[in-house]
Amino acid sequence: MSYRADITIIGAGVIGLAIASQVTKEGREVYLLEKNETFGQEQSSRNSEVIHAGIYYERDSLKAKMCLEGNGLLYELCEKNGIAYQKCGKIIVATNHVEAEELEKLYRRGKGNGVQLKMLSLREMDQLEPNIRGVAAFLSPSTGIVDSYALMRCFLGKARDNGAQIVYKTKVIGIEKVLGGYEVRVEEPPGDFSFMTRVLINCAGLYSDKVAEMAGINIDEANYNLHWRKGEYYSVSGGKNKLINRLIYPVPVGINLGVHVCFDINWRLRLGPLFYHVNEISYKVDDSRKKAFLESSIMEALPCIKPSDLDPETSGIMAMLPRERESFRDFIIRHEYDRGLPGLISLVGIESPGLTSSPAIARYVSHLVNEILES
Ligand SMILES: Cc1cc2nc3c(=O)[nH]c(=O)nc-3n(C[C@H](O)[C@H](O)[C@H](O)COP(=O)(O)OP(=O)(O)OC[C@H]3O[C@@H](n4cnc5c(N)ncnc54)[C@H](O)[C@@H]3O)c2cc1C
């Protein structure tokens, strides 16, 4: 083991790429290690591509702060770098009076988080979206959509321009604390290879709990165990995309945002994601769950969409800290010095709104890195 890096980032999803674009500075040796053949093959390319506004999350939580800051930074980044986006706005709609009470609470939470929102009269709702049905609704003008692939390419380009080395087909299989940093063992066909790094950043997404454990963290005690939830999407055909002008969401039940209207940058319409717990990775969409789709509140809000318009499409798997039916858990982003692991930064449970938060998380982590390297 003779090679020594300053900063090593594990995982080239949107979070690892965003961090790599921020922490690379002149004279720093930065490595981004990715087990797959290329970047962004897991959560970061299998999501709703929504630029969230910051409505849902507990006040003063990292999720609320990172999402709100990320929302502004992301629009700026898209504008400056020619990344396709649309600030199309979204409407959250209640389809009955019980939901209307929850909608009111959500509106107050969003306002409390500093998000610009507008409660709509039924007339305004009808003017904005003549094809939705509901008893109450509010508008979030700062919600939008982004081309997530183009966003990742932008972070990748910036990281490379700043001198970061991106290494694919390289899986981290061992981490040992040594004097002045970490010895990182990687599986790099045809064999294994070890090197030393001063700072190690764990952005391993679905596997970030396992990587934390590899580094010596007791993940049961730290409460870092991840639970995988698969979210399935259905494409909507029949020209229904022309009947809807913005993203439409139901009132959430528990921590799930609920099956909602998604548009990609070409205004292709999908509904999803319908989430359920899984133990293994398979992105096949199980058509037997179509019934649950048809019973979801969004179908009541959108009578223009008929069951025959829906076809199984894609899915994504989310790395969640809460178990099913557990309540809110915040992002974990921390320097692990108090666990006897100085120089190790953990990012665990970076689920939605992780895509939106990526530029803000990168700034936050960059401050932690500067503190470590300048101490
Ligand atoms: C269905 C779904 C819908 C979502 N919708 C939205 C949305 O609309 N808006 C929003 O803001 N967010 C959304 N999200 C959340 C967002 O996609 C994630 O927060 C974000 O992509 C997380 O990025 P990441 O880089 O942490 O993880 P990932 O994209 O999963 O990347 C982690 C990377 O680490 C690599 N890796 C893992 N272990 C190792 C190892 N040992 N060695 C080397 N590499 C390793 C993996 O191969 C992977 O490439 C959604 C997520 C899902 C699943």
Q: Is the pLDDT of residue 282 over 70?
A: yes
- Number of helices (H) and strands (E), helices first, in the chain? 10, 19
Contact 90, 247 (CB under 8 A): yes
Render pLDDT for 228-245 as a digit per residue (tens, 0 to 9). Answer: 999 999 999 999 999 999
Render pLDDT for 186-236 as a digit per residue (tens, 0 to 9). Answer: 998 788 999 999 999 999 999 999 999 999 999 999 999 999 999 999 999
Structure tokens that stand for 140 in this block: 């979030």
Q: What pLDDT sits at residue 281?
A: 96
Would the CB of 353 count as within 6 Å of ligand 1?
A: yes
Mean pLDDT in residue range 9-16: 98
For residue 239, the CA-to-ligand 1 centroid distance in Å is: 31
Residue with the smallest CA separation from ligand 1 atom 53 is 318
Mean pLDDT in residue range 317-327: 89
Q: In whole angstroms, give the CA distance from residue 111 to residue 66.
A: 16
What does the mean pLDDT of the chain come to?
Answer: 95
Would the CB of 358 count as within 6 Å of ligand 1?
A: no
Q: Has this prediction a pTM greater than 0.75?
A: yes
Q: In whole angstroms, give the CA distance from residue 280 to residue 296.
A: 25
Render pLDDT for 88-103 as a digit per residue (tens, 0 to 9). Answer: 999 999 999 999 999 9
For residue 283, the CA-to-ligand 1 centroid distance in Å is: 14
Q: Is the pLDDT of residue 360 over 80?
A: yes
Do β-strands 30-33 and 4-10 pair in parallel, antiparallel, or remain unpaired?
parallel
Residue to probe by mutation, ligand 1, list 203, 351, 352, most atoms within 8 Å of CB? 352
Render pLDDT for 32-42 as a digit per residue (tens, 0 to 9). Answer: 999 999 999 99
Which percentage of the chain shows pLDDT scores above 70? 99
Q: Which residue has the higher pLDDT, 375 or 165?
A: 165
